Every structure is written in C-alpha cells, then in structure tokens.
Structure 1
Amino acid sequence: MQLRPLERTANKEMRRVSEGQVAVLSVSAWLPLSLLAHLLLSSLSLSLFYLPSRRSLWTPCDSPVQFLLLVRDSGGGSGTMYNTGRHVSLRLDKEHLVNISGGPMTYSHRLEEIRLHFGSEDSQGSEHLLNGQAFSGEVQLIHYNHELYTNVTEAAKSPNGLVVVSIFIKVSDSSNPFLNRMLNRDTITRITYKNDAYLLQGLNIEELYPETSSFITYDGSMTIPPCYETASWIIMNKPVYITRMQMHSLRLLSQNQPSQIFLSMSDNFRPVQPLNNRCIRTNINFSLQGKDCPNNRAQKLQYRVNEWLLK
C-alpha cells in the first residue's frame, strides 16, 4: 500500500531537547515574545509540556537527527467500539490494516486500538498538560511494531514495541468527522455500560488526524498497568474537536454493568508523573522567526500553538 506523507514542514531536522533546557516553540508571528516553551516529561511516560510566561534563551540544538516525515497508510473500514469500563476503545477489523511509519520511528507500526480519555469537567481529561493545564480529553492511537512482533501483547513487553499517537480533544461548536462517527447519539448510547460493544462501518482513520505534521515525541511507557516502558509517544501539536453534547454523552457512560450502581467513566486519565531524566525530540521549527521569515509560507509552517491550542 502506498504511503502518503503528511504536509511538509519547513525544517529538515528533528531536534533533541534535554531536561532543564528551554526552547522557543514559535515567535512573534504567532506567540507573544514572552511565551516560551519549557518542555518536560514524566518518569512513567506521561508527559507535560509547559509554557511559562517569562523570557528565556534559545535552546542549543543537542545532537540533531535527520527529520523524517510522519507517514501513514491510507486505510480504514469497519471496527468495533467497546465500553471497557475504563475507557472507550475502538478496534479496527483485521481486513483493513492501518500502519504508521517515519517521524521518530525506525520500524513500521500497525494500529491496534484507539482509546478516549476525558474528564468530568472541561478543564481536565487529558493525560498531557500544556502550560500546566489539561485539555477536555485526549485520543490515543496505539500501534505495535508489526515488523518485529506478531501481536500487540508480545510487542508491549518488548523493546521498540509500541508507538502511541496522542491528540488533544477540545470542546467546540463543531466535531472532528471521525469522532463524530463514534460519538453521535445513536452510536454512543449503544455502549452505555461495561462490556457493551457496537460495530461501526465506513471508518477512515485519515479523518481523525488534525491538519498538521508537527509533533513532540519521547520514549516511555503505557499509562495503564502493567505500564511496560516500551512505548514511544508522539504528541500532535494541534487538537481535534467534539461538541459539548458529545462530551456530555461520554460522561454518561458507566464503568459498571447495568445491574451495578452507575459510576461515570469520566476522569479516566492518569495524573502526570515526576520527570526522570528523559528527553524529548520535536520536528517543530525553532529557527523561523515571525516577521523575519522570508515568505508567508514559512510563517504558516510554524508551530501555531496560540491559535490552535490556547484559544
């Protein structure tokens, strides 16, 4: 199957940012000059990236590696959505395989599961933080290394086993097309209780991704037990959206079966953990400087964090 690259970015390097360093995510064209990025992540693979409101210096590029486009197979088909009691899970059928490669990955990885995390309030729900604040939710696409391992169970216990693409969820007046398929009233009410399942047809994974190729990546672990430290995380720099009604419907899902007391699935996220001397890498272009950019195209390829993530 032909690999289709995402939109190209202006920079051609992946940059490595170590603990304690501060890096500019963008400059005057999109961010106030005082808005700088302090990138942190956790000891157990839950990361946060923090934007303090103070001036700082540019971060030197430490051991840059060649930038690769994040690419994925076009694919989709049908899949089954589950209420696991812990989160909403979507597993595609085995006839329509979806793979991802490039970016920070040495191997191709195959999509195994899509999970949704969300909060009881809009101010919480994601497993990553921006500026010390959470998003209303987070969608995680879990992939396993199908070149080295036969299944996700084997890969989860093994080196270079998993890649998780993480996308923030924000509440808005409109909805991401893929999430709209999952969260419309007729669908989401079919999985109200634990162990409920519902088949979805005509899925297109391309519709789930935001329109950006910028990301932050780090190596760590999964966020649910047994938390094997075999996962690489890719955090996209642009969120996707769902409506307030769809978020309300998620909060009406129960952790329990019908015969048991109702307990909302909300707040199914793990708190961030202390930093443990890990580093992050990013393909975000630190060198483009707003008004000094030679052309508008370069400016548009900057990390527009204030427009997409902070508004």
Structure 2
Amino acid sequence: MAPGRRRCTPVGPQGRSDDAGTRLHDLHESAGPESSSGHALLDRDRSAQQNSPKIHEGWWAYKEVVQGSFVPVPSFWGLVNSAWNLCAVGKRQSPINIETSHMIFDPFLTSLRLNTGGRKVSGTMYNTGRHVSLRLDKEHLVNISGGPLTYSHRLEEIRLHFGSEDAQGSEHLLNGQAFSGEVQLIHYNHELYTNVTEAAKSPNGLVVISIFIKVTDSSNPFLNRMLNRDTITRITYKNDAYLLQGLNIEELYPETSSFITYDGSMTIPPCYETASWIIMNKPIYITRMQMHSLRLLSQNQPSQIFSSMSDNFRPVQPLNNRCIRTNINFSLQGKDCPNNRAQKLQYKGK
C-alpha cells in the first residue's frame, strides 16, 4: 500500500464494474488553465420578517447581499438556526476536495443503471434566486440504481452551480482545482420514502449524481436545451419559470461509466447528512456564450437591484477520515493489493 494511503473495506456485494480498469484522467486533463484555482431540497422563498417557527427556513445565501438586511452566508448557516446545526458541526458534510491520492478502488462497485422507461421527460425550469433548477414532471419517472446504491432512487431535480469566472463555480474540487460549474442530479429513495422531503431527513435518503461543467466550443445536448437563448432568457429573474418538453436525460451524462463516490450531506441548509454522492469521471461542456447567459441571471426580482446568481457554491468541507471510493482501478500496489498491477495515474493539470 502506498505511503499515506488509508484502507477502506469494500462494502458492496456486487461484481466489478465493466469500466473498472479505466484510469482517472478524463477529469484532470480537462481541468485546463481556467480551472487552476484551487438545499430545504426545494428552495423556499419565505420572508425573514414572519414571526413563526419557520422564520429562517429560506433565510440563507451563498454570498453577502449588496444592500439590505443581513442574510447568512455559508460560514453562518449553522449558527443562525438550531435546525441547521449540522452545517457547522456535522462530520460528513459536502462538498469536499477530492484528492486522488486518497481514493480507494472498490471492486464491488458496479456500473450505474439509468432507467427512463425509454421515454423523454418534461419539466419546469426555475430561477429560484439561488440556482437554475429543473424539476421533473411527476408523470415522467427516471430512476437510478447500481454503483454504491442498495436501493433504486428517483430523480427529483437537476440543479446548476456556476462561477463568475471560469476558474470557479463547481462545489466539489479535484486535487484543489475547481471547474467552471457543476450539474447535480438530486434523487430520493422511492423504495423507502414517499417523497424527497421525507427522504432528505432519513438514512439512505438521497443520492446526488454530480457532473462537472467545462467551458469550451461545444455544448452538451441536454444543457443546450436548457441554456439556449430562447430558453434561458425566460428565467432571467427570481421566481421566473419555463416549461421544457421532450428532454432526453441520457444526453446529460458524459460518455463514461467511471465514477467516484463518498457519503456526505446536502450542500444547502439544513445540511442533513443523508446523501450519497457520485461524481462522474468526465465533465460535460457548455459554450462561453451559454456560460455568459448564466451569469446574466439575477438572484433578485426585477424591482430589485441586479445581482448575478453566479458563485452559488458552498465552500469545501473537511473530509474527516471518510473513504472516497471509486470503480477506477488505478495505482494500487503492495501486499494489501497483490492482484493489482501498479499503473501510472494519467492525471495532470495543464
């Protein structure tokens, strides 16, 4: 075992992934010079003026407001509301910095299985004031299973995080480097729980598929539907909404079956530690114009001062000795792994 490498016992009964031999290079090679710098699940917009036990429910922000009253940023989330205590004292918080030297190959991780029923889906895209959020029509069910999952999970929401500049925007970091954005597909355990609200508070409740976004000359076909000019300009201001139909969820996923997984939390208050995270080992792409259009979205309503929604990410949280597992078989050697041939990690930044 390499110096400093921690042992992590594989936890799954499944067989080895078809893609287990893939080396971890897709993400790192695509980080590029612009990436060199180091969720209540459905956002509620409740006034902080109300005198009720739920006064703080929607009272949080990613960055300080330009004018007006104080709204707590991430460093204060766990201090202003006792129900959000985990945001400050939790030991399995998200996001994290994924250090490849700490990753453990788990031969029991199978490939993910996406079940769309062979149908395209519809959903409503919202400007929540914090995110671009696509919430699926309940008549079109999309489930995911396999990988580290014991249960099938149902897709509830797709959420976008992005930065004010290309060197930041993703919530997770890779060896200290950020990507320009991050797509998060939020699923809930529909086998154990009736809805996402119940699941978010419960063990084995949530699974979030995370896909990094990189700015380039081409565009992912799914994101192209969301971010083309005719669509994105319909949700310029907070609470704007627009219906999208005929979406193919499979087009959102990158062409890889390799992933990284760890146990964590929601990345917005109340920061419940009920989420399993799966980070795909390849980014997807949007054009520079599409990223510019995202940065023109306002986190406020038209009557208020413009403030870009960008930089809507929580800072990374301590790993606290959690295992980061992967189905990528790389650089494992020594007496603890006698059957694994040492491989050079083809994984360098530009």
TM-score (norm 2): 0.69
* 93-102 or 74-83, larger mean C-alpha shift: 74-83
Deviations 1:251-275 (Å, cap 9, x if unpaired)?
A: 0000000011111000000011122
User: Counterpart in 1 of 2:298?
Assistant: 254
CA distance in 1, matches of 2:239, 2:149: 34
How far does residue 150 in structure 1 lie from its aligned partner after superposition?
0.3
Q: Which residue of 1 aligns with 2:153?
A: 109
**Residue 77 of structure 1: CA displacement?**
1.6
How far the C-alpha of 1:303 sits from its partner, in A, is 7.9
4+ runs of 1 displaced by more than 6 Å? 58-61
Is the partner of 2:246 in helix, strand or coil? strand
CA, structure 1 residues 67+247, in 2 after alignment: closer, same or farther (shift >3 Å)?
same
Q: Does the CA-based 8 Å contact 2:24-2:281 persist in structure 1?
A: no
- Measured in 2, the distance between the counterparts of 1:76 and 1:155 equals 25
The offset of 1:287, in angstroms, is 6.0
Select the residue among 231, 239, 246 that pairs with 1:202: 246
CA contact (8 A) 1:237 1:303 kept: no
Deviates more, 1:68-77 or 1:158-167: 68-77
Counterpart Cα distance in 1 of 2:151 and 2:209: 15
Distance 2:267 2:175 in 1: 21
- Taking the aligned partners of 1:112 and 1:305, their CA distance within structure 2 comes to 33
Measure the CA separation in 1 of the matches of 2:217 and 2:347. Answer: 20
TM-score relative to the length of structure 1: 0.77
In the superposition, relative to structure 1, how do residues 178 and 280 fare at CA in structure 2: closer, same or farther (>3 Å)?
Answer: same
| 1:41-66: CA deviation from partner (whole Å, max 9, x where unpaired) | x84121212358xxxxx9886xx552
> How has the CA–CA distance of structure 1 residues 59 and 268 changed in structure 2, closer, same or farther, with 3 Å as cutoff?
closer
Contact 1:222 1:229 in 2 (8 A): yes
Q: Deviations over 1:157-212 (max 9, x none)?
A: 00000000000000000000000000000100000000000000110000000000
Within the candidate set 67, 72, 89, 2:114 is matched to 72
Paired with 2:198 and 2:346, the residues of 1 have a C-alpha distance of 38
1-side partners of 2:322 and 2:104: how far apart?
17
Secondary structure of the residue aligned to 2:188 is strand
Q: Matched residue of 1:190: which SS?
A: helix
The correspondence of residues 260-279 of structure 1 with structure 2, limited to 5 A, is 260-279=304-323
Structure 2 unaligned blocks of 5 or more: 1-16, 30-90, 334-343
After superposition, the Cα gap between the structure-2 partners of 1:96 and 1:275, relative to the gap in structure 1 and judged at 3 Å, is same
Per the alignment, residue 46 of structure 1 pairs with 95
State, as a whole percentage, how many aligned pairs show the same letter: 82
**How far apart in 2 are the matches of 1:303 and 1:96?**
40
- Higher strand fraction (1 or 2): 1
For residue 127 of structure 1, report the CA deviation from its aligned partner: 0.5
CA distance in 2, matches of 1:215, 1:237: 5
Correspondence list, 1:164-243, <5 A: 164-243=208-287
SS at structure 2 position matched to 1:260? coil
Task: Identify if the C-alpha distance between structure 1 residues 201 and 304 changes in structure 2 by more than 3 Å, giving closer, same or farther.
Answer: farther
Matched, 1:9 2:19: yes
Question: In 1, Cα distance between the equivalents of 2:295 and 2:162?
Answer: 8
Determine whether 1:91 maps to 2:135: yes
DSSP 3-state at the match of 2:184: strand
- The residue identity in structure 1 corresponding to 2:184 is Q
1:244 — aligned with what?
A: 288
Question: Judging changes above 3 Å, is the alpha-carbon distance between structure 1 residues 305 and 152 closer, same or farther for their aligned structure 2 residues?
Answer: farther
Call closer, same or farther: CA 1:157–1:130 in 2, change over 3 Å: same
Aligned residues: 258
Q: What's the CA shift for 1:96?
A: 1.0
Give the aligned CA root-mean-square deviation in angstroms: 2.5
User: How far did residue 277 of structure 1 move?
Assistant: 1.9
Match of 2:189 in 1: 145
Unpaired segments ≥5 residues, structure 1: 1-6, 13-23, 31-41, 53-57, 290-301
The answer to whether the 8 Å contact 2:200/2:274 transfers is: yes
Q: Would you say the 8 A contact 2:18–2:110 is kept in 1?
A: no
Report the Cα distance in structure 2 between the residues aligned to 1:98 and 1:237, rounded to whole angstroms: 21
Distance 1:303 1:96, change over 3 A: farther
- In structure 1, what is the Cα distance between the partners aligned to 2:103 and 2:120? 40
